[in-house]
Structure 1
Amino acid sequence: MRPILLSGHERALTQVKFSKEGDLIFSVAKDHVPCAWYSANGERFGAYKGHIGALWTVDVDPTTTFLATGGADNTLRLWEVKTGRELKQWEYLTSIRRCEFSEDGKRLLGVTEKRTGQLSNIVVYDIDNSSPDAPQPSEPTLRIVVDELPRVTVAGFSYLSKYIITGHENGSVAQWDAKTGELLNEVYSHEDGMAVTDLQ
């Protein structure tokens, strides 16, 4: 199989995601424009303009209707995949380091960066995925302030979205109740000082 080269970003890539069907690839980089590509030939499907500064995270919902992005402009944004239209913007005090849709696409998770004077927050929004024109909530249904653990580096939902799993800069992995936000378990899966960089 011949590799496909995707040329479009001006700075280093930070995350890449396939759509559930595998026909589209979504990418973000240290520039400010998320991109979508046809996986069959590498042609660009579209770009999503609105962010300012580096982007750290991207995810697409199971129906490839909604796209979520987050970055150094301290915003988490929701887009319509087909048109590139921005549907909702949530603002925070620090960067968004990770975003992920639940398995059914009805919840969206975001993680804010820990910085001097600001703790990492895990936020979950209930997404109305009935239509791109449906109003989206301004406030999260769940907010977890991570005050007892090291900085969150990655996060995501477990199977069936019963739990939220977080990886941390000290190599630990934590399990949280996705409804109550209660910390249920913490294990050290990597050597101390080896940050967890991805969860699947």
Structure 2
Amino acid sequence: MTIKPLNLHVHLKPISWLKYSREGDLLFASSKDQSVSVWYTHNGQLLGTFKHSGAVNCIDVNAACTRLLCASADMKVTLWDVQTGAQLLSVDFATPTKVVQFSEGDKQFLAVTDSSFKQTPSIQIFKLPEEGTESRSGKLIPSRKIEQKDKITSAAWGPLNKTIICGFDDGTIRTFDAESGKQLGSTREHTHTVVRLSFSKDRMLFMSASTDKTAKLFESQTLELLKVYKHSDPVNTAAISPIKRHVILGGGTAAQDVTTTVKKQTYFDTHFFHQVFEEEIGTVRGHFGPIHFLAFSPDGKSYASGGEDGYVRLYQLDRQYLSMEDTPEVGLDEE
């Protein structure tokens, strides 16, 4: 099978996050170069950019694709109007913000702060003003604040906004009641940092990507470990196909972290695994540096990868892949 990408290049520093619009016609990409770009997915045309004063660590887009949330190293969460590019709201924090995400229904958002400047890591939940009133809302005060001793590396709303699921620097995954902030469960299936969490379409399953060279599949409500996918390098990102029993993994070690005794990689590839059988079914040639983010389109017919090299690679999956049976014997490659 031949899978050829569109190479989208406007960023000068590593890609930190990717987000498809709900319809899949737009792809948003954030970068450490203090900007967010927006692309048409059908032809890879650049639609526009949003400029920040610090590295952008995470982004999210509401269901109607009218509002863009950005968490950045300038200690802010910023809300933008997607159509006009106008900044609607800016929330100040005492530390850089690492993660931001709209709740289901887009009436709230969560923000994760780190331990910089001797601050306590936290998950903070805010109620969003009604559209059209954001600039008049004044200073936003969190409705809930969940503080933790350990560094929070990733966080996301659980099913129906009832819980918040978080990954931590010590390898643990914890779930909290979104209303009370009470910890409901915890598991430590990883031996190193949980870099990223990604969810299935119905949010009943999620994957954790870890620097311990594994990605793992969990049940969202119970944190029960279901599957383990082993990799040869640290895993920075993983994604679950919305239409097939496949998952994809990406990662790698940056050149400056590779010792002279270890062979340096030329390419950093996306690895396809069978979700149930845990077997690798193929690889797709990737970036000239570690892969930091992978995302499937909502219809599952394409996926995007963002890397250390500043490129976003957009892959349209062909008929052969989409019609192939979900068996571990079938492989795929990219020319």
The answer to whether TM tops 0.5 is: yes
Distance 1:132 1:44 in 2: 27
Counterpart secondary structure, 1:87: strand
Q: CA RMSD in A?
A: 1.4
- Which of 142, 145, 150 pairs up with 1:143? 145
Which portions of structure 1, spanning 4 or more consecutive aligned residues, are displaced by more than 2 angstroms?
131-137
Name the aligned partner's letter for residue 44 of structure 2.
G
Distance 1:143 1:122 in 2: 6
Q: Which moved more, 1:160-169 or 1:137-146?
A: 137-146
Distance 1:132 1:33 in 2: 24
Look up the match of 1:111. 112
Distance 1:174 1:39 in 2: 35
Look up the match of 1:12. 14
Look up the match of 1:44. 46
Contact 1:80 1:132 in 2 (8 A): no
Distance 1:18 1:55 in 2: 17
Q: Deviations over 1:6-47 (max 9, x none)?
A: 111111111111111111111111111111111111111111
Distance 2:18 2:197 in 1: 13
Which residues of structure 1 form unaligned runs of 5+? none
Contact 2:122 2:145 in 1 (8 A): yes
Identity within the alignment, %: 31
Name the aligned partner's letter for residue 31 of structure 2.
A
- Give the structure with higher Rg (CA): 2
Distance 1:122 1:39 in 2: 32
Deviation at 1:128, TM superposition (A): 3.1
Look up the match of 1:87. 88
Determine which structure has greater relative contact order: mean sequence separation of CA pairs < 8 Å that are 6+ residues apart, divided by chain length.
2
Counterpart secondary structure, 2:116: coil
Distance 2:6 2:190 in 1: 34
Contact 2:96 2:116 in 1 (8 A): no
Which residues of structure 2 form unaligned runs of 5+? 199-335
Counterpart secondary structure, 1:11: coil
- TM-score normalised by structure 1 residue count: 0.92
1:96-175 equivalence runs, <5 A: 96-129=97-130, 131-134=131-134, 135-136=136-137, 138-147=140-149, 150-175=150-175
Counterpart secondary structure, 1:160: helix
Look up the match of 2:64. 63
Q: Deviations over 1:68-89 (max 9, x none)?
A: 0011101111111111111110
Q: How many residues are aligned here?
A: 194
Distance 2:132 2:164 in 1: 26
